[in-house]
Structure 1
Amino acid sequence: MEDGGQAQRAWASNPPTAFIFLITVFAFFLPILIYFPPFPPFRRDALLETHVQVGIQHPSESGLRKSTQKHNAGRSVPVTAEGTARNNAKDGVEETPKTSTDGGRIRSLWIYPIKSCRGIELRQSRVLPTGLEFDRLYMFAQLRSPFPAPSSPSADGSGPVEHTWHFITQRQFPLLATVQVDLFVPKGEADSDKAASGAFLLVRFPWKERGLRGVLESAAAKLSRGWRAQPEKEFVLPVAFPVGSSSSRSPSPVPPGSGQESDAEEGEDVEIEDRRPRGYTHEKVTIWRDTVSALNMEAELPRELRLYLGVSNRLGLFRVDPARLREVRRCAPTPAEAGYQPVAGFQDAYPLHLLNLKSVRDFDAKIDKDKDLQELDPRRFRANIIVDNNDYSSPYDEETWKKIRFTSEPGNRKESNGSNDKKLVPSTFHVSCRTVRCKMPNVDQDSGYRHPVQPDKALRKFREVDEGAKRMGCLGMQVTPLFTNPGLPEGRKSWVEVGMSVEVLERGHHVYILQ
């Protein structure tokens, strides 16, 4: 006992020795913790064993960043009288000289696999009748009761009150902007028609449990993803429409590392619906004024997501049914003009949204800025195709476009590595109407902060330009794809890529038709 007490006193009387001992132990175990963390692997790591992540993953490679740097370097943007005259055209369709740089070039491409969640920037994409491949496949919705509540059990007093699913967006729940969506496709099939059948979406959102568990989650995040990383909750969704839920016969793949893998040999078709009771149901869901039947996959949602977003009602996750798409009419080309019936999935109204960076810059200069909005990020408008006009066209020149064609040039083959000649084929689009803006652009796409006023106020003040959309601001254009052989399903495909030149084939006047 006396010897033990002397040892403790000696240890306490020599703090440097104790400090050096602790540092030595820490230095010994730190590399072990880094390379062999005492936490289960993340699903992303499991997916990367068999899949590749799609899209631009580093901000320095973004086409928007490069364009902003070019603009800030002092590039002049003259507004010509010809451009102003075009913008004020009132009727008719006029043929224009087919100059390859007529409308500038594609600077950036975006898809939003889950409506209103964070997008994925691409260098190239396949174009389908529903828009860019993988765009708006899923959508969140909340179950709402009729308001005001009827005094009787139902409207006619004969049954229970009917609750209905209504889609949700960043307008009501701005934190949707911080829900990260990553797309993974099987290795070697990124450009293949089979890419979708084995693809997955990895969905992540910030979430930290309370107490010791939260401390461990923070440690796991920092050890695996860097010192600034925060704990997240994640779940995986299949891109392919689940087997047995529609006329689709493609089996739903099982995500690697999910514990649901089959023991079948590689390449053998496996019906996994019997291996995992999913509880999916077809239900009606309302998107704007349309009500469609879609597949409710809310069983895949972690309970924490509803709490994180602040949704008080029941939260659903709907997958668009490829056999029950919405027909697009109003300003879209007719079936006789397009050669097929234009359709959309969970897009607001039309298959594609096009934005002109020159127009965004011009509008940005008109906004009253404050500490919460110092520069207008084009991502706030959630476009699929972002172009940048040449120096000699005016802002909003795209509002006179009626038909355009994107063309690859031989000097731009670096975007597709020159490996696929079919991407050299021009892709043609019908420019259907202006995009009438709601208040969603008020949401910062990085933080999820919703500005109380801008840019909605400026849009209504400076961009009430469409006689069919009174007291509403417009920015961007709604676009419908056209195909060279639309009579056959396999002919309804084309490609777009960053760097393609924009050729304006027809110009004319646009009048928005309300839904």
Structure 2
Amino acid sequence: MIPPTSEVVALFDLTAIILLLTTVIVFVIPIFILFPPIPVERSDALRQTHTKVGIPASQSNLRTQTSPEHDYQPGKPAKIQSLYIYPVKSCRGIEVGHSKVLPKGLEFDRLFAFARQKSKAASAPEPSGEDGTGTKKHPQWEVITLRQVPLLANIKIDLWLPDVSKTSRQLGRVDGRFIVIRFPWRDSGLKGIIQWISAKLSRGLSGTPEKEFMLSIDFPSPDEIKAAGYQYEDTSFFAKSVYALNMKNEVPPELGLYLGVAVPVTVFMVDPDQRREVFRNAPRKADAGYQPVIDFQDAYPLHLLNLTSVRALESKVQKDDNLQFLDARRFRPNIIVSGLKEYDEDDWRSIEFSQPPQSATAKLSGSKFDVSCRTVRCKLPNVDPVTGIRHKVEPDNSLRKYRNIDEGAPKSGCMGMQLCPIFPKTDDPEDLELSLEVGMEIKVLQRGHHLAL
């Protein structure tokens, strides 16, 4: 039986359509490879020659931070539960499994800080000197933190280091160490729609449009500084002034718009040869063999936090829809420890981290630290590190009520401890290096009184 003409035509049309689609696909695929519809991100290029530093969120050592397994258990040693670095001050941190410890703290920590331009009145010259004849000019910039701009918490930082095992066919071997700074951003109109589609295609259904820019973490040479148009300037940092490299040419104007900052925003980097020396309660050079220094840390090289103490404070906090549990990351720690009694750290003066006895490297000397003072808290922990939303009162209220324990900081709450590394040898700059690793055990070497200065 011969099929009706209409069925023959339909079959022919279907075959023709399939052939046409196949031809188009074969033709278009090479074009998409050469000219992808999704913009190529810096991370895509860096992945060819570099390795991204950090532990994926799905494998975080803080996934179970609220579990009783981290509480004090007699006979079981306390240990390092997690390590964090913050390459850009107040932005999203990077969890690592191990880290070098330098005189300034963990490697790559607080290298950069964003700053906003002050009003003309705030930066105007004013008389200086006892006779009032000289003039001094206030810094035109001020460092911004989560205290003033909570949306900094939503700025993600990716750290990329060269990988000797990787070589790009197009680029060869690429040296240099970089951070890629990403923040939520979507343009208006058709461009914004394309950005939204691209984000879904490249990052999955939960992907959101982002804008990114890249900075080298290797301090530039004088020639590079001149070529890039950078300049050294003072920027206000709390009540002090920091002399650092202003790299404003690198910051896209959209960043200020996202943060809700109406004035220009820039980024500063501390010159490694001009780091700020730390005094106050820190060990002196005559005792430690070197003077501790910092980049954009608040006051000391390292901040330690006890998970059990966080849970103890959480029991006092008034929870609501905006604060379901007290995330340890609210306190911006470098070293998070577990297995201690609550607030056991309050009177530490000297500690040592070492590998467990069964470890292959257990016989190596441990890493010792001076516990310089308690961490006096401001309202920064009120900011949720996941959403960038600032709670109106907590945990600041509970800190002031239950943790007003230091005579040097009356009416303030304390949580965590400030550390300075103690190096076995200090004669050669190359000797000024320790190491920390998740799982290291804690030994308290000395206890004593603390008074914040």
2:100 maps to which residue?
126
In the alignment, the residues of structure 2 paired with residue 478 and residue 496 of structure 1 have an alpha-carbon distance, to the nearest angstrom, of 16
- Residue of structure 2 equivalent to 1:175: 151
Q: Secondary structure at the match of 1:323?
A: helix
**TM-score, length-normalised on structure 1?**
0.76
Whole-Å Cα distance in 2 between the matches of residues 33 and 208 of structure 1? 29
> 1:208 Cα shift?
0.2
Q: 2:328 matched to which residue of 1?
A: 378
| Unpaired runs of at least 5, structure 1 | 1-9, 81-98, 191-196, 246-271, 414-420
Displacement, 1:219? 1.1
Residue 59 of structure 2: aligned partner: 61
Shift of 1:409: 2.5
Say whether the 8 Å CA contact 2:123–2:138 is kept in structure 1: no
Aligned partner of 1:388 in structure 2 is: 338
1:409 and 2:385 matched: no
Q: 350, 361, 364: which one pairs with 2:314?
A: 364
Contact 1:67/1:107 (CA < 8 Å) preserved in 2? Answer: no
- 1:43 and 2:17 aligned: no
8 A contact 1:34–1:223 mirrored in 2: no
- Distance in 2 (CA, whole Å) between partners of 1:322 and 1:163 is 21
Q: Which moved more, 1:204-213 or 1:154-163?
A: 154-163
Please, what TM-score do these two structures have when normalized by structure 2? 0.86
For 1:149 and 1:273, locate their aligned partners in 2 and report how far apart those are by CA, in whole Å: 25
- Please report how far the alpha carbon of residue 25 of structure 1 lies from its aligned counterpart in structure 2 after TM superposition: 6.5
Contact 2:355 2:362 in 1 (8 A): no
Structure 2, unaligned stretches of length 5 or more?
1-5, 167-174
| 2:176 is aligned with 1:198 | yes
Alpha-carbon distance between aligned partners in 2 of 1:165 and 1:429, rounded to the nearest angstrom: 34
Aligned residue in 2 for 1:474: 414
Distance in 1 of aligned mates of 2:122 and 2:234? 21
Q: What are the superposed Cα offsets for residues 118-141 of structure 1, whole Å, 9 maximum, x if unpaired? A: 000000000000000000000011
Residues 38-63 of structure 1 show CA distances to partners (whole Å, capped at 9, x for unaligned) of 13311101001000000102x23111
State the identity as a percent.
48
CA change 1:477–1:241 in 2 (3 A) is same
Instruction: Point out which structure has higher relative CO (alpha carbons under 8 A, 6+ apart).
Output: 1
Could you say which residue in structure 1 is the equivalent of 2:436?
A: 496
Could you list the per-position Cα deviations for residues 342-377 of structure 1 after superposition, in whole angstroms to 9, with x for gaps in the alignment? 111110000000000010000001001101001000
Larger displacement relative to structure 2 (287-296 or 440-449): 287-296
Which residue does 1:86 correspond to in 2?
Answer: none
Q: Contact conserved, 2:355 with 2:366, CA < 8 A, in 1?
A: yes
Q: Tell me, in whole angstroms, the C-alpha distance in 1 between the residues paired with 2:113 and 2:306.
A: 26
1:228-268 per-position Cα deviation (integer Å, ceiling 9, x unaligned): 101100011001001117xxxxxxxxxxxxxxxxxxxxxxx
**Which of 112, 116, 141 is the aligned partner of 2:90?**
116
| Post-superposition offset of 1:295 | 0.3
- Aligned partner (choices 110, 114, 118) of residue 140 of structure 1: 114
Paired residues of 1:34 and 1:224 also in contact (CA < 8 A): no
In structure 1, the residue matched to 2:248 is 298
Contact 1:423/1:495, CA 8 A, preserved across alignment: no
Q: C-alpha displacement at 1:314, in angstroms?
A: 2.0
What is the 5 A alignment of 1:402-441? 402-409=349-356, 411-412=358-359, 424-441=364-381
Secondary structure, aligned partner of 2:193 = helix
CA distance in structure 2 between the partners assigned to 1:471 and 1:408 by the alignment: 39
The letter of the residue matching 2:218 is: A
2:228 alignment partner, SS class: coil
Summarize deviations over 1:255-292 as a string: whole Å, max 9, x none: xxxxxxxxxxxxxxxxx668xx3110000112122212
1:337 to 287, 290, 293: 287
- Separation in structure 2 between the aligned mates of residue 158 and residue 214 of structure 1, nearest angstrom: 53
Count of residue pairs the alignment pairs up: 425
The alpha-carbon distance between structure 1 residues 158 and 341, as it changes in their structure 2 partners (threshold 3 A), is closer
| Matched ranges for 1:436-455 at <5 A | 436-455=376-395
Aligned to 1:214: 192
Structure 2: how far apart are the matches of 1:100 and 1:353? 24
Cα 1:200/1:76, change in 2 over 3 Å: closer
